[in-house]
Amino acid sequence: MSADPLLPPARALRVGVAGLGTVGSAVVGLLSREPRRLGARAGARLEVTAVSARDRVRQRGVDLAPLAWEDDASALARRADVDVVVELIGGSDGPALTLARAALGAGKPLVTANKAMLAHHGAELAARAEAAGVPLRFEAAVAGGIPVVKGLAEGAAANAVHRVSGILNGTCNFILSAMEREGRDFAEVLAEAQRLGYAEADPSFDIDGIDAAHKIALLAALAFGTRPDFGRVETSGVRAVRLADIAQARALGYRVRLLGLAERAGAGLLQQVRPVLVAERHPLAGVDGALNAVVIEGEPVGRLFFEGAGAGAGPTASAVVADLVAIARGERMPVFGVPAAMLAEPVPSDPCARCGRHYLRLTVADRPGVLAEVAAALRDHGVSIESLIQPRATEDRPALLVMVTHAGAEGAVRAALGGIARLEAVLEPPLMMPILGDEE
């Protein structure tokens, strides 16, 4: 803080921003629009001095004229007038990774929103940051504007966390919410989401769960003190979820959500992204549209729930600038909450050992005897059925068989479904979704 707190702080933190898409432009805009308020909070003037992007002439709604321009992002790390580097280029490797290494190598703090880069190279970058004695912060990389990295690594620092879970991809939640609300099918809603800009032209990164898997890998590292390891996240997306599943789930008192989930299971760590049935009274069931939300369950705090905008220029810029404020305030903590050298190798736990109730949906031939065959396969694997619904088949809707199992090991359900999928009367790969939120 400056000597006279009523004057702007004498000290400046000079920021170099790489990547001027909507988020980068919003960061530059926010820092230039609010110098006094941010200066009071940070104890330093936060000033963008240099930027780098691919296209120098594009209109971005912010005045870049006073700022130095670098065609090569890594050059920001070498500039004497840059104290801290903000990386908003994206991509797990390439120029983003080169810049991150260059910034830390030059002993400069790094702020990044790049979940892919950290999910793949987080342990390496954390070690580099700690060796250089500079912070590496990534609040914007998980759940956009929701301060959940701080929530886990700082707010919940006293806790033994046993599970962290969340709705981490706004595109998928937008699609599932719209299917439920409007009774429209996946393909139709996806096409609309693409028209509205909620989904990319190539949507696979979102709807196949990759983006959520990057984020749950980071949350797992923060929660459990393990190396972020994207390769160990068992990932499936929302393509297999039908309107009929959403309607049946609703009738049973659940809502379908794509969840990222990391939990201690024995000595191991379960990391998954998958569609789940969430009980209506669980807070994750109420998260609609493009929102994100995260649940932290630990001892002694119990259950913490955070909800907010998971994407968009403004919320993401809010998170980036919060990291800059923390750096200006001199906050120092290990990148993933514990020193990089202490990050343990995650021991994957057997997902088949997971216990719980399950939702099953089969598409079957509309003829006698099918139910008996299915029931026999379930019985042979010790899977017991709590309830069964067979919605009436119509000409444009094949016969479905929807079941909810009693609590049991997921492995038995997977094995039974393996047999069921091979039955002649079963016309499509079965869909299985775990059921969450009934425990309490």
Residues found near a copy of itself in the complex (CB under 8 A):
1, 5-6, 26, 30, 34, 37-38, 40-43, 130, 139, 145-147, 150-151, 153-160, 225, 281, 283, 286, 298-309, 312-315, 317-322, 324-326, 329-334, 337-342
CB of 310 to a copy of itself, least distance (A): 10
Considering beta carbons, is residue 97 or 134 the nearer one to a copy of itself?
A: 134
What is the spatial distance between Cα 98 and Cα 115, in angstroms, rounded to a whole number?
15
CB of 63 to a copy of itself, least distance (A): 18
Please say whether the beta carbons of 31 and 47 come within 8 A. Answer: yes
CB of 133 to a copy of itself, least distance (A): 10
CB of 367 to a copy of itself, least distance (A): 44
- In eight-state DSSP terms, residue 199 is S
What's the token pair of residue 131? 């060796």
- Please tell me the total number of residues recorded for the chain in this structure: 440
Q: Is the peptide bond before 203 cis (omega within 30 degrees of 0)?
A: no
Considering beta carbons, is residue 6 or 187 the nearer one to a copy of itself?
A: 6
Give the Cβ contact number of residue 71 at 10 Å.
Answer: 9
CB of 311 to a copy of itself, least distance (A): 11
Helix (H) or strand (E) holding 176: helix 170-182
Considering beta carbons, is residue 342 or 376 the nearer one to a copy of itself?
A: 342
CB of 342 to a copy of itself, least distance (A): 5
Verify whether residue 215 is a known catalytic residue: yes
Considering beta carbons, is residue 259 or 321 the nearer one to a copy of itself?
A: 321
Please say whether the beta carbons of 252 and 362 come within 8 A. Answer: no
Taking the alpha carbons at both ends of the chain, their separation in whole angstroms is 47
* Among the listed residues 310, 325, 103, the one whose alpha carbon sits nearest the alpha carbon of residue 215: 310
What's the token pair of residue 425? 């009367």
What's the token pair of residue 44? 């330093």
What's the token pair of residue 402? 């929807």
What is the spatial distance between Cα 162 and Cα 264, in angstroms, rounded to a whole number?
5
- In eight-state DSSP terms, residue 355 is E
Considering beta carbons, is residue 37 or 367 the nearer one to a copy of itself?
A: 37
**How far is CA 372 from each of CA 146, 418, 423, rounded to the nearest angstrom?**
49, 16, 11
* Among the listed residues 302, 171, 150, 298, the one whose alpha carbon sits nearest the alpha carbon of residue 218: 150
Helix (H, G, I), strand (E, B) or coil at 327: helix
Catalytic residue among 108, 115, 150, 215: 215
* Among the listed residues 388, 385, 391, the one whose alpha carbon sits nearest the alpha carbon of residue 366: 391
CB neighbour list of residue 368: distance below 8 Å, 6 or more residues apart = none
CB of 130 to a copy of itself, least distance (A): 8
Considering beta carbons, is residue 84 or 403 the nearer one to a copy of itself?
A: 84
For the CA atoms of 289, 290, 296, 301, what is the dihedral angle to 10 degrees? -70
Considering beta carbons, is residue 193 or 320 the nearer one to a copy of itself?
A: 320
What's the token pair of residue 106? 């030059």
Considering beta carbons, is residue 16 or 151 the nearer one to a copy of itself?
A: 151
**How far is CA 177 from each of CA 73, 181, 272, 432, rounded to the nearest angstrom?**
39, 6, 21, 19
CB of 20 to a copy of itself, least distance (A): 17
Return the active site residues: 215
